Structure 1
């Protein structure tokens, strides 16, 4: 029997001959064994997953209970921490009061001694500035009330809080209790909400010499806030397992603690990235529903995730619970795959158990495969000669059809017309681009696509090109079926017979609307700011250059205005960058509305804008008035409130203006001059304008030159040390303070007030401070070689930058060792502001140096924020009374009281006292009467070279170091 070979019978015979033998046997057996293995594996994995989930939840529950217990412990100890701190402060106040009473009661009337005690305690502040000492007598009269001095002397025995509690009576009752037990609780107005009361705890002690009670107190909520911060720090460090940690949310959903991503802390869900927002909203909803377990997606932070360019998400399980006393939502969470090894172990055990079954299955499949291959080989050999003959006949035709089909169904739209321009065929890309289906297009003409943007002459030129050259290509605006206009690239080719007769036209079209828009956008981004759509720096400089050329040609003046917003960073930090962007957009709109049509408004970046005004008056004073009018309009416009997402914000700006007509002016110089003028406006109080003054530029040039000369002076040894004597009560020189001076080769002696701030700003204070320390230690070493001078001390001022250098201690010790100076004769002078920047770092370094004998003096004492708590911790040896108090000693009783208080405080702390700025014998005598016997000032000599010190006859005898 002879079978005919065609495209239908050949595939059918091939399927029946090959797959019929292989697939029936192979698939049946493979399916059975595969199904059996899958069922067993699913059952095993299901059991393991249930156990893993139960263990995970138990772990989360245990960690949640531990965290809750810790928060309860921290909250309950709030009152005890406040009690200890209050007792410590009141005990110190009692020591001062007792010291003043013991020293002055036999010398002064009781009323005067009472006033000394009151004035000594009045300026004391602690508890971050909230705490103060109050004094009442045991009959209920106010003796000292720093927050309300107008009530001092009045009786407050009947004062009540909002619960009806008698405040003063409670304090008097507490004062009668033994030391350490005199506590009283009452409610008083909060500093941050004057109409709202909050619970306050006070501690008082009875001062029996005057039948007083001395006490202090603070609000419990402030200390509870401290405990909350401590709890946050502790919970932040807690970890369990490989990925487990504890997170915290506030009642409104704000992230308080996020150990895996600290950048989210302080943000609301709507301010977070999408993945974090979804997770936080899920946790918040769970908390509002009463808490419990919940699953959500979260970015992984392991090594694999760190190497990925995009966040790698993982599934987490969390336990959510609310800690009611503080309104916190606690979340204990861990990634679900942390216990994955148990799953892997179970899977491995299952694989080992099914190895034998897989071997049997493989043998069966191999046998079936071998049988199928043998049958296929025999069948293929029989059918091959039938298929080859048919294949040879179709090969050429199929190849041509494939090429034509692929070419026709390309990404470009194609339509074919006859010689009369009637559409015969379209491809799918044509339908996608134009919106017309094949049914709608076939039989019509391309005229259905015309947009009306091209006139008859356009199409006439098109057909003339096709007639003469056989083709045309170009951009054409056509109309989509929906009516939308789009830009396309159209190519038309004529199909001709051998004798040149046109039979068809083949047209290809491509939608280039988006490409053209992208090209326009790229050109726009190159010259315009994407946020405000204003010209950017590149376009601004180009227009400024053109404005300069025009100004030189027409001799008319122009102006450049440099505008900087005031306090823009504050708005960005407090309201968010999205609100800052909205403000910048409104500022841009207002500036454009302020200037003329031909002027340029540009944004340099950040909150800096520039306006170029052209074609102003040829007369400088008239041009200045015209520019001033525009600048004033800008100030007035930008000072109006802005509405940012429903929030009204008031802002202002500072404007610097420079005029230009000079042929030598260039864009860079104008920008610098306008910038300098703007900073002058800032310094003048902001929300104003300033014109450029050449003296500004000269001052900047002078400062730059001075900085350069200072660097050179450090290298070439132009700096020298001057010394000002420090004397005792008998005018004997005990030592000196080292003061740096600069002998400039051309300018002569330059005041430290001119070059020290420059050194601070430029960073030269570090090499300068090291030079001063080295020179001072060398002088100490020279004095040590003369027995009459060996006991002299030398004080050296230390800057904040020096103190905060990590190797500051090592530098000082290395200098002492290299010069051979006695560390016990070196005294480093520090300021209160320096110490307050980083107390713990300063205390650590001071303690390390004091162990080697180096002394420390607190300079300008009394002019800053003086806290007994930190004074007691600082390893000081001396307090230096500021010269402002010394200047007013003779005529100002309050200055005398302050000096006496400082001396009393120093005595209580075991510190020495020295006064600076002593210029008259009356000042020296007044200091001595109030307990200060060591002085420094013009009365004993102005700063000068070491040879000017009168030390050879007055220095005390050397004592062992």
Structure 2
């Protein structure tokens, strides 16, 4: 009997092992896993039946009830039923007198196991149903019932009760408790392992989802562990790093930076941030990292977690933004913002090194004609070639900048400490630039341009900002243009004084316009019989301190400053107001008034509408106003000028071409524009009887006659000049011989007197 019992115990241990192995079968579905577990318990049940203890012929006892009851209790109904059924089939196959009782006991054990599994034990709620004591009682109940069943279905003698029954109710419950405890411990251990696996998988999923790499390093910079999406994808250059030092992967400077951050974090017991680069022959990648000290006794040495993120794309974006912010898109040169930063540095270097620096302001002469003739795309090609030529002239320490349009700047640093020598150095560079830019550019055909260059020197004593130095160079460039272009001009105080005066004059003009300091003077126009046939309205300025300011003192400044269009509109409104006032005058109610307007208006889309609305507001007929245009309208946007002039002519406005013969008039342009009068410039009249002037005047008169256009001479001051003009067919005059420009009231009185003579 002892031998068979030991064999049964061994088989129970085998059952525990099989159950443990089945618990690791991850690929099985839950139902399949339960069925397979039930089969294993059933097979072990068959095995223990094979090593059963015979009580009498056909009647046997063994540990099968231990197996199926614990199978039901631990595995549930499916496991218990499969195990019980398999063992019952085998017992049925064995046959004998104890077959019925044996099968009944098997299903009884399954039933009690399931009841015990489901029973809440409310009276004994403080007890653990799967504690050793509870399991012993559970086993005792099953085997006590089994003894009763055996007695009922089999005629068992006293020997059974003295020996076997005692064994069943003592050893079998202990075996039940032992098997239940072992299986429960296996189940708990597997559940714990499964929880750890799920937690690890969860943590791994989170770690791999973040765009970071995590490394554990000791205080010597040796990699202990690595995790994270970038380490898995090998994006950070991290092949197997474990056990290797940082010097194995990084350049000395970067390795030292990482090591310093580790030491700082460990010594200060606080996080440290760092940026470093991983460099290979193919590329350089940039990383930012946070170093966090680890406080755990599981690490034998002081260690840190290095959380790194690949920020190469951000570096590239930042670099691109910087390039866009500090460079010119078309030429690739530096732009104004970069120049201002560089000028600040250059000023500091001058003070530190006791040297000079120079700013060369370059403006291309005649570049607008290239855009007009060939288009802006060809103009861009020229600008690109200009940038290349200027760049080849420079030292590595010099800076070439495109400010915009056709304006370029060269910053020369580290020039001589002597201002004279520094000036000569800057002048040599400027001469090279002029020579390089005079070379032809190849477009559809060869084109040539030149440049005007202004130079501003500065040194350690310069108390100016970068903007002020740039302004000095800009002023010098305009001075170079004023002297004939294709020239070089250094800044000096006279240019600044002229600028100050000009700015003051601009401010005074604006102030005068706001405070109504401007006046209109009228100069009559006569025919050969001495009859007033019209008048020219002339702008005058009555300054409160300067008195009556001559037109040649402020008109050019007003034009350059962009004030002239405002003055023109003011003049038009003032003349219309005066003409309306003279609507009942015997002479002035019939004659036209000529008003000068600058070419700017003919480029404005609303100019015809402005003229029409102004005349309508003062109830002035269109034939009472004549617009005088200078020859500049013929070379600046001719098509736009012709369109506006045609519109105004259709409304009844007449046009006179002022200062004819002094500009760049093309006869074909004159023939295509609706001029009704040419005005001979006073400069030709004053030079009479100079042979050249005689020829020019005669040509103008003949030209006007051939085109069917009237002609009038201005600046007539002597009778001999008038006689010459009459002799050559010019019948209309204007000048001091007849009358100077007069204020409105004086002009009205003069006109009345002239009409009565």
Q: 1:10 aligns with which of 10, 29, 47?
A: 29
The residue aligned with 1:433 is 234
- In structure 2, what is the equivalent of residue 811 of structure 1? 613
Q: Taking structure 1 as reference, are residues 537 and 408 closer, same or farther at Cα in structure 2, changes over 3 Å only?
A: same
Change (3 A) 1:434 1:800: closer
Residue 657 (structure 1) aligned to one of 437, 442, 455: 455
Instruction: Please say if residues 453 and 477 of structure 2, whose CA atoms lie closer than 8 Å, have aligned partners that are also in contact.
Output: yes
Structure 1 position 928 matched with structure 2 position 734: no
Which residue of structure 1 lines up, in the alignment, with residue 648 of structure 2?
845
Structure-2 separation of matches of 1:785 and 1:419: 106
2:595·2:627 contact (CA, 8 Å) conserved in 1?
A: yes
| Cα 1:384–1:711 shift into 2, 3 Å | farther
* Structure 1 residues 814 and 451, CA gap change in structure 2 (3 angstroms): same
| Structure 2 residue aligned with 1:319 | none
Q: Is the 8 A contact 1:450 1:477 kept in 2?
A: no
Instruction: Please show how residues 190-201 of structure 1 align to structure 2 within 5 Å.
Output: none
TM-score (ref. length: structure 1):
0.47
Name the CA distance, whole Å, in 1 between partners of 2:742 and 2:312. Answer: 79
Deviation at 1:478, TM superposition (A): 7.1
**1:743 paired residue number:** 542
Structure-2 residue corresponding to 1:37: none
Aligned to 2:738: 940
Counterpart CA distance in 1 for 2:539 and 2:237 is: 89
TM superposition shift of 1:461: 8.8
| Distance across 1 between alignment mates of 2:79 and 2:612 | 94
Q: Which stretch shows the higher mean deviation, 467-476 or 723-732?
A: 467-476
What is aligned with 1:398? 194
Paired with 1:467 and 1:869, the residues of 2 have a C-alpha distance of: 89
Shift of 1:951: 3.5
Deviation of the 1:547 alpha carbon: 4.8
Is 1:621 matched up with 2:438?
A: no
Provide the residue aligned with 2:754 in structure 1. Answer: 954
Which whole-Å CA distance do the structure 1 matches of 2:584 and 2:282 have between them?
103
Alpha-carbon distance in structure 1 between the residues aligned to 2:698 and 2:277: 92
Question: Counterpart of 1:938 in 2: which secondary structure?
Answer: coil
Give 5+ residue unaligned stretches, structure 1.
Answer: 15-380
Q: Secondary structure at the match of 1:617?
A: coil
Partner of 1:693: 492
Q: CA distance change for structure 1 residues 604 and 714 in 2, over 3 Å: closer, same or farther?
A: closer
> Residue in 2 aligned with 1:898?
699
**CA deviation after TM superposition for structure 1 residue 623, in Å:** 4.1
Instruction: State the Cα distance separating 1:673 from its structure 2 match.
Output: 1.0
Question: 1:939 aligns to what SS in structure 2?
Answer: coil
- Structure 2: distance between partners of 1:822 and 1:485: 78
Contact preservation (8 Å) 1:816, 1:823: no
- Deviation of 1:582 after TM superposition, in Å, equals 6.2
| Residues 526-578 of structure 1: CA deviation (Å, up to 9, x unaligned) | 99547788776556545544554565677655444334555677489344747
1:357-436 to structure 2, matched below 5 A, reads 396-408=192-204, 410=208, 412=212, 429-430=230-231, 432-433=233-234
Number of the residue aligned with 1:797: 596
What do residues 475-527 of structure 1 show as CA deviations (whole Å, max 9, x unaligned)?
788787x99887775979889767x757x999767475837954984796599
Deviation for aligned residue 1:860:
4.8
User: How many aligned residue pairs are there?
Assistant: 565
Normalising by structure 2, report the TM-score.
0.58
The correspondence of residues 196-211 of structure 1 with structure 2, limited to 5 A, is: none
Provide the C-alpha distance between the structure 1 equivalents of 2:562 and 2:534, rounded to a whole number of angstroms: 30
1:450: how far off?
0.9
Q: Which residue of 2 aligns with 1:611?
A: 411
Structure 1 pair 935/396, CA: closer, same or farther in 2 (3 Å)? same
Change (3 A) 1:859 1:414: closer
Tell me the equivalent position of 1:754: 553
Measured after TM superposition, the shift of residue 408 of structure 1 is: 4.5
Residues 448-487 of structure 1 mapped to structure 2, 5 A cutoff: 450-451=248-249, 453-454=251-252
SS at match of 1:924: helix
Counterpart Cα distance in 2 of 1:463 and 1:783: 95
Deviation for aligned residue 1:894: 4.3
* Of 402-411 and 523-532, the range deviating more from structure 2: 523-532
Out of 568, 573, 578, which is 2:376 matched to?
Answer: 573
Question: Cα gap change, 1:558/1:952 in structure 2, threshold over 3 Å: closer, same or farther?
Answer: same
Q: 1:402 to 1:687 in 2, by over 3 A?
A: farther
- Equivalent residue of 1:838, what SS? helix
Shift of residue 710, structure 1, vs aligned partner: 1.7
CA distance in 2, matches of 1:436, 1:550: 41
SS at 1:738's partner residue? strand
**Following the alignment from structure 1 to structure 2, what is the Cα–Cα distance between the partners of residues 547 and 711?**
38
Equivalent pair of 1:472/1:492 in contact (CA under 8 Å) = yes
Structure 1 residues 638 and 867: alpha-carbon distance in aligned structure 2, compared to 1, 3 A threshold: closer
Cα gap change, 1:621 to 1:922, in 2 (>3 Å): same
Question: Which residue is 1:362 aligned to?
Answer: none
How far apart, in 1, do the equivalents of 2:591 and 2:516 lie?
26
User: Which of structures 1 and 2 has the bigger CA Rg?
Assistant: 2
Correspondence for 2:508: 709
The residue number in structure 2 matching 1:723 is: 522
- Whether contact under 8 Å (1:414, 1:507) holds in the other structure is yes
- CA separation of 1:491/1:734 partners in 2, compared to 1, >3 Å: closer, same or farther? closer
Greater helix content = 2
Q: Residues of 1 paired with 2:701 and 2:256: CA distance?
A: 104
Name the CA shift for 1:611/1:921 in 2 (closer, same or farther; >3 Å).
Answer: same
Q: Deviations over 1:918-937 (max 9, x none)?
A: 34434433433444433223
Task: Answer yes or no: is 1:773 the counterpart of 2:572.
Answer: yes
2:391 is aligned to 588
Question: Within 1, Cα distance between the matches of 2:628 and 2:393?
Answer: 53
CA distance in 2, matches of 1:706, 1:696: 15
Partner residue of 1:668 out of 463, 467, 471: 467
- What is the CA–CA distance in structure 1 between the aligned matches of 2:236 and 2:583, rounded to whole Å? 101
Gaps (5+ residues) in structure 2?
1-18, 34-75, 82-116, 119-183
Superposed CA RMSD in Å reads 5.7
CA distance in 2, matches of 1:711, 1:574: 38
Deviation (angstroms), 1:677: 1.3
Farther-moved stretch of structure 1 (426-435 vs 797-806): 426-435
User: Is contact 1:766-1:802 (8 Å) kept?
Assistant: yes
Separation in 1, partners of 2:554, 2:613: 23
- Which region of structure 1 is more displaced relative to structure 2, 888-897 or 604-613? 888-897
**Counterparts in 2 of 1:731 and 1:463: CA distance versus 1, 3 Å:** closer
CA distance in structure 1 between the partners assigned to 2:29 and 2:542 by the alignment: 108
Per-residue CA distance 1:825-869 (angstroms, 9 max, x = gap): 554444566585432332222222x2xxx6554545677334599
- Cα distance in 1 between the residues matched to 2:245 and 2:570: 90
Change in Cα spacing, 1:812 to 1:638, as seen in structure 2 (3 Å) is: closer
Higher alpha-carbon deviation: 391-400 or 753-762: 391-400
Deviations 1:230-258 (A, max 9, x none): xxxxxxxxxxxxxxxxxxxxxxxxxxxxx
Structure 2 Cα separation of the partners of residues 792 and 469 of structure 1: 97
CA contact (8 A) 1:791 1:956 kept: no
**Could you tell me how far apart the structure 2 residues matched to 1:434 and 1:494 are?**
25
